[in-house]
Amino acid sequence: MITAIAPGKIILSGEHAVVCGQPALALAVDRYAKASVIHHSAPATVVFDLLNLKHHKDTTVKALRRLKSRLSADYHLFLQGERSIKDVLKLPHELSHFVLSNFLERFNRFSDAGIHLKTESTIPMGCGMGSSAAMILAVKFALANHFKEEIDKENLFKLALEAENLQHGYSSGLDLRVSLQGGALEYHNGQFSPLTLPQWALYIVNTGSPNSSTGECVMHTKKLFETTDLATEIGSVTIAIKTAIEQNNFNDFQIALRANHQLLVALGVVPTPVQTFIRHLENNGLAAKICGAGSINGDKAGIVLIASPNDPTPLCQGFGYTAEKVVGDTHGLRLD
């Protein structure tokens, strides 16, 4: 059995404004997608055992080829503006089916297929922590090692990006790059550069999967960026957060994080109940912000990042939340 793991990530600053050419800061953290590949005795058969999705299915190479062909055609229609990205992947398990089929086709391994793929993850799904990117990488890397295919990180990244685009339409590659390399990265105008890891404790709270899709939030914020200076202001805060990390200044980090939160509120992507929760934390000397696209409706906003010198769980319990400490992962994608 070959097992690969890939870390999830949190956005420290820069979400939404990154599409306007502003920088974004991301950190790989100790929550992992895991993929295991085992030889299966039946030829031309693939067994999927996707634990988090509760998806257990035996399928054939022929069926996988048909699915890949359909998904590729639907994505092409999306690129032409004739289909929504939501209409490409109709079921959550189809992403893993595509990832495996795409790999077998790229390396001409369909005739060797007799595979049992098992996946599981400790990364919250649909909450802005890069769960799909991490799983794509873990599956690809496990398959490459199972078939003893030599593939460098850059080509693995490009192959994984094809699958990530099916999920998000036009992926920046940020989630994939952070999960692939580990550590902290700055993303600016398509370029990635290493960032110093924060030297203090960080905590996350999962407020639940947002009602709005990332695409809906992006379209909403795009209109505001066209008529306000919010993108530039978020960019300035991102630089302040980067400087605070580099200077190991926790107080300045908290100040900049609070400013970041207020700008996200101004963008309309922080639901009122989450605003109330963060205000409660701020009144007790902490700083917090949402870590992904947020939501333009409903009560949930995915992951909230908390900067606190102590475990903030007691301050979260009254809202029905549990705080979890996260630690930066410096290794990225690897065999387990």
**One-letter amino acid of 313:** T
CATH architecture, domain defined by 202-326: 2-Layer Sandwich (3.30)
Look up residue 91 and give its two tokens. Answer: 């079921």
Domain ranges of the chain: 2-192, 202-326
**Rounded-to-integer distance, Cα 235 and Cα 285, Å:** 24
**Rounded-to-integer distance, Cα 9 and Cα 29, Å:** 5
DSSP string, 126-152: TSSS-HHHHHHHHHHHHHHHHTT----
**Lookup result for tokens 């696209």:** 293
**Lookup result for tokens 């609070």:** 258
Check residue 71 and give its pLDDT: 95
Check residue 212 and give its pLDDT: 82
Check residue 190 and give its pLDDT: 85
Look up residue 70 and give its two tokens. Answer: 């359909």
Check residue 327 and give its pLDDT: 94
**One-letter amino acid of 24:** A
Check residue 254 and give its pLDDT: 97
The predicted-structure confidence for 165-213, as pLDDT tens digits, reads as follows: 988 787 788 899 999 999 999 999 889 999 999 999 899 999 998 888 7
Indicate the angle between helix axes 131-146 and 153-168, nearest 10 degrees. Answer: 140
Burial 192-206 (b: 16+ CB within 10 A, else e): eeebeebeebbbbbb
- Asked if 45 and 261 count as a contact pair (C-beta separation under 8 A), the reply is no
Nearest to 123 by CA among 2, 209, 20, 229: 209
- Asked if 156 and 107 count as a contact pair (C-beta separation under 8 A), the reply is no
Right CATH for 2-192 from 3.30.230.10, 3.40.50.300, 3.30.1490.480, 3.40.1190.20 = 3.30.230.10
Q: What is the pTM of this model?
A: 0.91
Check residue 110 and give its pLDDT: 78
- The segments of the chain whose pLDDT lies below 70 read none
Check residue 138 and give its pLDDT: 97
**One-letter amino acid of 83:** R
**Rounded-to-integer distance, Cα 47 and Cα 325, Å:** 35
